[in-house]
Structure 1
């Protein structure tokens, strides 16, 4: 099942990194998506701009899947846009 927050994260990832939204599934890892540590920092910045919730580098380093990003954003009260 896809949440609206997942859809927002998938949209940011597709737009920022030129990937197909269909591959941005909850259990996809950064490695699966071809994102290195620098890309993860870029992703955090893009999500912060899009959703207005700060994600710091340490938090991103603890995450390994799209689902974990969605869960963290939801726990911080981010509102899908």
Structure 2
């Protein structure tokens, strides 16, 4: 598991009170119980935690944990 993936999982767990084992790469927003408002909250949480800004357009094009991790890695987030 990459550092970016671990950081994204931490955001899901902290923001949505999810079990870390549920936040697997193939999990979709639907699998995790995230509606469109939750997705916006996720983008805000990722910006605060990792310093990566995800636009509404980008958010509309992603649907799984692996998509988010790939976008975070592409944007070179400050993974901590």
Equivalent positions of 1:12-27 (< 5 A) are: 12-27=11-26
Post-superposition shift, 1:56?
A: 1.2
Equivalent positions of 1:1-81 (< 5 A) are: 2-81=1-80
SS in 2 for 1:15: helix
- Structure 2 runs not aligned, ≥5 long: none
Post-superposition shift, 1:40?
A: 0.3
Give the Cα–Cα distance (whole angstroms) in 1 for the partners of residues 78 and 69 of structure 2: 11
- Number of matched pairs: 80
- Structure 1 runs not aligned, ≥5 long: none
Post-superposition shift, 1:79?
A: 2.7
Post-superposition shift, 1:58?
A: 1.4
Post-superposition shift, 1:53?
A: 1.3
Give the Cα–Cα distance (whole angstroms) in 1 for the partners of residues 63 and 41 of structure 2: 15
Task: Map Cα deviations across residues 35-68 of structure 1 (whole Å, 9 max, x no partner).
Answer: 0000000000000110111111111110010000
RMSD over aligned Cα atoms:
0.7
